[in-house]
Structure 1
Amino acid sequence: MTAPSGFSVTSGAPPFFAARIALVFCAPMMVNGIALPFFPVWLETLSMNDSQIGIVLALPMFVRVFTAPLAGILADRIGERAVVLLWSGLLSLATALALFATGSFWPVLLLYTLQGAVYSPYLPITDAIALSGVRRWNFDYGKMRLWGSLAFIVSTMTGGWLAGLYGGAMVLPAMAVAFLLTVLGALIVPKIGKPRRPSPITAIATMPADGSLRQRDVQFMLIGASLVSASHAMYYAFSVIHWQKLGFSGTDVGIFWSAGVLAEVILFAFAVQLRRRFSVWSMMIFGSLVAVGRWILFPMEMGFGGYFALQCLHALTFAIMHISVQSRLVERVAEEQEAAAQGLYFFYTGIFTAAATFVSGYAYNWYGVAGFYLMTIVAVAGLVCIIAGRFVAPPAGPQPQSAASGG
């Protein structure tokens, strides 16, 4: 195998493939950089209570678990995934503009759920196109995806600065601009024709009835890692609201969120070294334990430095978990079930996170920041599942798929 080509020209690939994909990754991550931290702040300006905010945030998560695979199937079958990407961007922009005309719970719930449905396939399909470039022309996925993380940091920092100036009123205009960028991204994305393998999100609807994906240790691992990911639900929904109540500025909030993503990027950069030094089970168990500790500490008032340090733990509560899951799937799941494995991981994470977000709205409404202790319970449940997976896992050694797929 030749060395990854990064951003260099590769024979047979569309012109500037890697650079174009890097730019396309930036668009949805800029949407997320505004929506994840600050959309709940806008909801609060509409005088919604915490329970209503939880419902508005949770329902689109339930919906996208089912709409993203359907869009993925459509994208794989029509022969050019960029077409679905364009429609996703256009319809998402339309819903973002329609939100300007709303101001009460039910219209916002309807439009934001619709936005979740039409926006759900954008990032997974971008991932699928990028991975096709990796398989066909040996591009470096990490170098392309890194620019999306950097765009998220820029978007979050800019959103924090704007929130300090204009409060929640800045959220809808910023989201509309970001969705406009998704349309532009869909126009410049490389056209590579019909995929040779199905996109991972299509596999939820096409998962085989048997095979290596059904192994108990794999199932325990996927459920456990998804539960640990879902334990972040209250953080995504109410951390900014909580920090603002403590008197932190919009710029402070932007720094907190950016610190978490930057720590995540740094850990990804050293992923290979970590994988060589530690087993995937050790990393997952450690990451789960850190998640438990993170949500125990979060309700305590720690000042700027304390919250900054706590945010850096995101590298261990999310990034190290994701790296470990992907590494273990390579070891335990046959190549022909690769897409199904990624689809099932997406499904578990989406369902558990949606449920945790729904519950977190009521927990925050009833108990305030003490509701984060409920997220500790979710993380403990994930830890138990991962330990169970480690207990039933077969001894390390060559796996059945190695002969056919290269391991």
Structure 2
Amino acid sequence: MPIIVILAFNLIVGRVADRARDWRQVIVIGALIGGIVPIGLFFVNEFWGILLFWTLASLPGGAIGPVLDAASMRLARRNGTDFGVMRAWGTVGYMLFNGLTGYLVVWFGAAIFVPLFVGLAILRAAASLQLPPFRAPAEQLTISVAAAAPKTGSLREVAKPWFILPLFGFCMIYGTHTVLNAFGSLLWKAQGIPEDVIGPLIALGAASEAAVMFLWKRLGGRISARGIMLVSAVASVFRWLLMGFEPNVAVLIALQLSHGITFAVGYLGCVHFIANWTSENIAAETQSLFVVGQQLLSAVALVGFGWLVPSMGGQAYFVAAGFALAGAGCIWVSMQMKAARAS
């Protein structure tokens, strides 16, 4: 339900953010709403009440996420800072609090979850008040910056096959990673991988993602954005093909370490691709459209693989490899349609 509602609101929130004086306003408002609404979880115990407040609590974070990505990318480019490092700390936080939550639930029981969730939501709201303005003041837009700025000032101008295809292609690849998140642990357990090994395997993927993001500035500037996306797509094809053969733990370690290439590299390539070809007037709206595509393809992948996994087991990853190959084809076709611009 939160995903359905977020899909309905993402483009609207992105458009509103682009029309605002600064993206910061929408981000702060969303964070404040996201900090207040979860308090209602303390007062509900039945299904419908939990569904209502959980959906309302999830909506602000999901809706402002693309706006925050777009705004951070623009600020990083203007200040010469590393967007990859900024994004990497998000992954580190994800790893840290996933592990911490597990221990806290073991120590204090499930009752600790709502206070922890509400407390962190309030902390996020307070932190948002410290955010700087993201848009460049008009007087800071120098001649060189203006000359280098992309000319596409509306979504209609940029919504052409050469622009849509690579983003759609990576959304297909993103969907295959959602399959790994949803079914990977179950398949590994069915293949006889010990449970005390499954956790570290999952952590390896997140660690690889963070490492690539920290190193992005050294690696990402040597190839075009779509070239990076194509590398990610091809690596995904080989990763899922090998996963389909139900390899041993040693091979799984190597495959999990490739997560930084199959996911992080492709994601950063997409964010740079969007920033390369769009102006600030449509930055958040375009990023929101990209996230909507990710969620839709993830839903398709989850439903489809929910049917395939019971009958195919680990060999369902062969279908994921086919999806990734189709995504790679979309990116390659786009590169033939329009020359790449360096990321």
**Bin of the TM-score, shorter chain as denominator length:** 0.7 to 0.9
**Aligned residues of 1:79 and 1:195 also touching (Cα < 8 A):** no
User: Cα distance, 1:149 vs. partner?
Assistant: 2.5
Count of matched residue positions in the alignment of Structure 1 and Structure 2: 324
**Aligned residues of 2:30 and 2:64 also touching (Cα < 8 A):** yes
**Aligned residues of 1:62 and 1:354 also touching (Cα < 8 A):** no
| Other-structure match for 2:235 | 287
**Aligned residues of 2:244 and 2:316 also touching (Cα < 8 A):** no
| Other-structure match for 2:88 | 146
Does 1:70 find its partner at 2:18? no
**Structure 1 residues 387, 209: CA separation in 2 closer, same or farther (over 3 Å shift)?**
same
| Other-structure match for 2:210 | 265
Unaligned runs of 5+ in 2: 142-152
| Other-structure match for 1:43 | none
| Aligned with residue 276 of structure 1, among 201, 222, 231 | 222
CA RMSD of aligned residues (A): 4.1
| Other-structure match for 2:146 | none
CA distance in 1, matches of 2:282, 2:323: 26
| Other-structure match for 2:125 | 183
**Structure 1 residues 285, 142: CA separation in 2 closer, same or farther (over 3 Å shift)?**
closer
Does 1:162 find its partner at 2:108? no
Letter in 2 for 1:348: G
Tell me the TM-score normalized by structure 1: 0.63
CA distance in 1, matches of 2:338, 2:11: 33
User: Cα distance, 1:263 vs. partner?
Assistant: 0.6
Does 1:367 find its partner at 2:314? no
| Other-structure match for 1:219 | 164
Does 1:96 find its partner at 2:38? yes
User: Cα distance, 1:379 vs. partner?
Assistant: 4.5
CA distance in 1, matches of 2:332, 2:167: 12
User: Cα distance, 1:221 vs. partner?
Assistant: 2.0
Letter in 1 for 2:231: M
| Other-structure match for 1:346 | 291
Q: Deviations over 1:94-141 (max 9, x none)?
A: 443333455555444333332332222333333344334335443333
Unaligned runs of 5+ in 1: 1-58, 198-205
- Any residues of structure 2 matched to 1:186-265 within 5 Å, and which? 186-191=128-133, 208-211=155-158, 213-216=159-162, 218-237=163-182, 239=184, 248=195, 255-265=200-210
User: Cα distance, 1:389 vs. partner?
Assistant: 4.1
**Aligned residues of 1:163 and 1:170 also touching (Cα < 8 A):** yes
**Aligned residues of 1:146 and 1:265 also touching (Cα < 8 A):** yes
CA distance in 2, matches of 1:62, 1:291: 30
Does 1:172 find its partner at 2:108? no
Letter in 1 for 2:222: R
User: Cα distance, 1:228 vs. partner?
Assistant: 1.0
User: Cα distance, 1:347 vs. partner?
Assistant: 2.5
When structure 1 is superposed on structure 2, of 271-280 and 65-74 the one drifting more is 271-280
**Aligned residues of 2:31 and 2:61 also touching (Cα < 8 A):** yes
Q: Deviations over 1:45-67 (max 9, x none)?
A: xxxxxxxxxxxxxx322321332
Tell me the TM-score normalized by structure 2: 0.73
| Other-structure match for 1:115 | 57
Letter in 2 for 1:214: K
| Aligned with residue 258 of structure 2, among 313, 318, 322 | 313
Letter in 1 for 2:336: P
When structure 1 is superposed on structure 2, of 346-355 and 142-151 the one drifting more is 142-151
Q: Deviations over 1:159-186 (max 9, x none)?
A: 2333444565544333223212211211
CA distance in 2, matches of 1:69, 1:341: 8
**Aligned residues of 1:157 and 1:258 also touching (Cα < 8 A):** no
Does 1:130 find its partner at 2:68? no
CA distance in 1, matches of 2:77, 2:207: 28
**Structure 1 residues 385, 148: CA separation in 2 closer, same or farther (over 3 Å shift)?**
closer
- Of all paired residues, the percent bearing the same amino acid is 19
CA distance in 2, matches of 1:357, 1:102: 29
- Any residues of structure 2 matched to 1:78-89 within 5 Å, and which? 78-89=20-31
Letter in 1 for 2:87: R
When structure 1 is superposed on structure 2, of 224-233 and 92-101 the one drifting more is 92-101
